[in-house]
């Protein structure tokens, strides 16, 4: 997206609106990269299938939030390079969204019914981080991705051993999130204060707990 810096504020509002509609309501995200699980079948018990679906629903909710965070920050970013960074990361996060959606269908489950809430809340948080300043906005992304990596580590351990499809998706997502955190710091992201990091963890805990069930 080399022409992203040329977008006007009105253009960016349209992009954010289009992302909101397609992310929250379509449930058919298109991935730009191959599906990591390769469509292989995993023999799971009813309890294992239900647990895997709950964890992948949490991951899907996280990707809903990621789309909103990146678009909220891109909406108000002052620097064109920072804006391009946000849109590029959002594109990769869209792959994660598509992978999680497909895996949920394979597990005969569905995304969180609270998706509109996750998107709207995260869009506001992203825009607020962006208004504070680009370097803090990048720092917010770096810290978010670090926490997501820790969260994915927990999911990798919690998923049934024989659910190789979900585990491979989580592994690929983790690689991308680690790189996003490194890229945000390399682009000039500032380390966030400890109270902010703790508040982010609390907010994430509320979302992940709710999304597992609803």
pLDDT at 86: 86
In angstroms, rounded to a whole number, what is the distance separating the alpha carbons of residues 133 and 128?
9
Indicate the class that CATH gives domain 9-17+44-213.
mainly alpha
> Among 84, 88, 196, which Cα is nearest to 136's?
196
What mean pLDDT is predicted for residues 149-162? Answer: 94
Q: Token digits for 131? A: 């208004």
In angstroms, rounded to a whole number, what is the distance separating the alpha carbons of residues 128 and 51?
35
In angstroms, rounded to a whole number, what is the distance separating the alpha carbons of residues 58 and 54?
6
For 29-87, the pLDDT digits (tens) are: 677 889 998 766 778 999 999 999 999 999 999 999 988 888 888 888 888 888 888 88
In angstroms, rounded to a whole number, what is the distance separating the alpha carbons of residues 93 and 138?
16
pLDDT at 5: 47
Please tell me which residue, 4 or 111, carries the higher pLDDT value. Answer: 111
Number of helices (H) and strands (E), helices first, in the chain?
7, 0
Please tell me which residue, 153 or 20, carries the higher pLDDT value. Answer: 153
> Among 169, 190, 17, 191, which Cα is nearest to 107's?
169
Confidence check: pLDDT of 161 > 50: yes
17-21, 32-36, 100-104: least confidently modelled range:
17-21
Please tell me which residue, 6 or 4, carries the higher pLDDT value. Answer: 6
Q: Give residue limits of the domains in the chain.
A: 9-17+44-213
């Amino acid at each position: 997206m080399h022409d992203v810096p040329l977008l006007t504020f009105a253009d960016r509002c349209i992009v954010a609106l289009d992302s909101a509609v397609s992310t929250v309501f379509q449930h058919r995200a298109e991935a730009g990269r191959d599906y990591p699980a390769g469509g292989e079948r995993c023999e799971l018990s009813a309890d294992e299938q239900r647990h895997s679906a709950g964890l992948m629903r949490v991951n899907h909710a996280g990707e809903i939030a990621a789309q909103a965070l990146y678009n909220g920050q891109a909406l108000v970013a002052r620097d064109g390079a920072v804006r391009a960074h946000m849109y590029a990361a959002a594109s990769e996060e869209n792959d994660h969204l598509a992978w999680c959606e497909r895996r949920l269908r394979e597990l005969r489950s569905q995304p969180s019914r609270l998706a509109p809430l996750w998107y709207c809340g995260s869009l506001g948080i992203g825009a607020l981080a962006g208004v504070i300043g680009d370097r803090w906005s990048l720092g917010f992304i770096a810290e978010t991705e670090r926490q997501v990596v820790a969260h994915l580590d927990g999911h990798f351990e919690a998923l049934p051993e024989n659910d190789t499809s979900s585990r491979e998706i989580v592994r690929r997502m983790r690689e991308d999130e680690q790189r996003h955190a490194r890229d945000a710091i390399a682009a000039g992201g500032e380390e966030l204060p400890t109270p902010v990091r703790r508040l982010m963890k609390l907010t994430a805990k509320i979302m992940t707990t709710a999304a597992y069930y609803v």
